[in-house]
Amino acid sequence: MKRDGGRCQWVRADTHRKCLQPATDVDHILNDAAGGTDDDTNLRALCTTHHRWKSSHEGGQASGAARRAKRDAAPKPLHPGLVADKRELEPPPF
């Protein structure tokens, strides 16, 4: 926070300039789940708005990753037309 002068270090995508609003939070640039550390190089000051935006965006990514992991772990249901049932391979009883 001291290093960043108490100002938000978020770089706006439209102007490519830092937000520079008074910072309220210290952000992990690379979050814990992604292997980020508490090292100074991974920390920056952010205003409430940008920290909330980033955190909610990361939350969405995390739940998306969890959803994908769950989907990939579950066996894919076969299309009914592709299900090979033993009974279907035997001649009909008439």
Q: Per-residue x/- mask for Zn ion, residues 6 to 45, rule CB under 5 A?
A: --x-x--------x-x------------------------
Q: What is the 3-state secondary structure (H, E, C) of 69-94?
A: HHHHHCCCCCCHHHCCCHHHHCCCCC
Residue 55 touches Zn ion, criterion: CB under 5 A: no
Q: Check the CA dihedral 33-39-42-44 and report its sign.
A: positive
Nearer CB in complex with Zn ion: 53/65: 53
Burial of 24 (0-12, 13-18, 19+ CB in 10 A): middle
Cβ neighbours of residue 54 closer than 8 Å, sequence gap 6 or more: 10, 27, 46
Q: Which listed residue (28, 43, 44, 50) binds Zn ion by CB under 5 A?
A: 50
Which CB, 12 or 67, lies closer to Zn ion?
Answer: 12
Among 22, 25, 47, 62, binds Zn ion (CB under 5 A): 47
Residues that bind Zn ion (CB under 5 A): 8, 10, 19, 21, 47, 50
